[in-house]
Chains A and B, each alone.
Chain A
Amino acid sequence: DTGVSQDPRHKITKRGQNVTFRCDPISEHNRLYWYRQTLGQGPEFLTYFQNEAQLEKSRLLSDRFSAERPKGSFSTLEIQRTEQGDSAMYLCASSSSPVEQFFGPGTRLTVL
């Protein structure tokens, strides 16, 4: 399968713990995006990479969130000191142009 993959698919953690998610984009795509989606809402933009450079960050991305894309390939999203409000689906998308983003299956985070 050459689509966008995300790992893990599900994560349950206790409040205050740190979690890290991984996204592997489509190999020829230089653009990578992270979104967060809560129940009944559309995806909300978190951050954007072009190659290894993080070019955009939403104000939703508090100091507890950090994302990296070393070598411009896979990306990780880390949430430190998780809170119950962080419970959501975290979606990764990649593209080779500003249009048509290809989304992965998402990582569902539950913070107890």
Chain B
Amino acid sequence: SQKIEQNSEALNIQEGKTATLTCNYTNYSPAYLQWYRQDPGRGPVFLLLIRENEKEKRKERLKVTFDTTLKQSLFHITASQPADSATYLCALETGANNLFFGTGTRLTVIP
């Protein structure tokens, strides 16, 4: 069965720095991978999708990379702000009609 590991449960960085979050997966080759943001007490919000034939995708201060050989995706937030503090979830498409989520990384940006 699929397994996803997101680098650490919690990551603290200083405002203005680049946050890098890691998503490693095993036992599957997804056609695409998604990143979601989740604030406490709320549902996840879609951020970015990257397909298996794409190396990199950008959206404003966000960048996602996808290495299907390493089975790894990296999620970067540049010029981080306290408002970026949240839990970030990596999700794989499973070939069925649902997503398989990682446990998330809780990011705190310190002013």
Interface residues of A (CB under 8 A from B): 4, 31, 33, 35, 40-45, 48, 50, 55-56, 58, 91, 93, 98-106, 108
Cα(A31)–Cα(B49), bound, Å: 18
Partner of B93, one of A31, A99, A105: A99
Known: A40-B9, A99-B34, A99-B49. A4 touches B43 (CB 8 A): yes
Query: Could you tell me if B49 and A56 are in contact, using CB atoms closer than 8 angstroms?
Result: no
Known: A33-B98, A41-B103. A98 touches B93 (CB 8 A): yes
Return chain A residues, CB-CB under 8 Å to B100. 45
Partner of A93, one of B43, B49, B89: B43
Query: Could you tell me if B46 and A100 are in contact, using CB atoms closer than 8 angstroms?
Result: yes
Question: Is residue B110 contacting chain A, with contact meaning CB distance below 8 A?
Answer: no
Besides A99-B34, A105-B43, 14 new A-B residue pairs in contact (Cβ under 8 A), listed by A number: A33-B97, A33-B98, A41-B103, A43-B101, A45-B99, A48-B96, A55-B97, A91-B43, A91-B44, A98-B93, A98-B97, A100-B46, A102-B46, A106-B41
Query: Could you tell me if A43 and B44 are in contact, using CB atoms closer than 8 angstroms?
Result: yes
Query: Could you tell me if B42 and A42 are in contact, using CB atoms closer than 8 angstroms?
Result: no
Cα(A40)–Cα(B105), bound, Å: 9
Interface residues on B, range: 20 to 34
Partner of A56, one of B45, B93, B97, B104: B97
Interface residues of B (CB under 8 A from A): 4, 9, 32, 34, 41-46, 49, 89, 91, 93, 96-104
Cα(A45)–Cα(B89), bound, Å: 14
Query: Could you tell me if A42 and B46 are in contact, using CB atoms closer than 8 angstroms?
Result: no
Return chain A residues, CB-CB under 8 Å to B45. 103
Query: Could you tell me if A42 and B102 are in contact, using CB atoms closer than 8 angstroms?
Result: yes
Query: Could you tell me if B34 and A100 are in contact, using CB atoms closer than 8 angstroms?
Result: yes
Provide 11 A-B residue pairs closer than 8 Å at the C-beta atoms, listed in order of the A residue: A42-B103, A43-B101, A45-B99, A48-B96, A48-B97, A48-B98, A50-B97, A101-B46, A101-B99, A102-B46, A103-B43
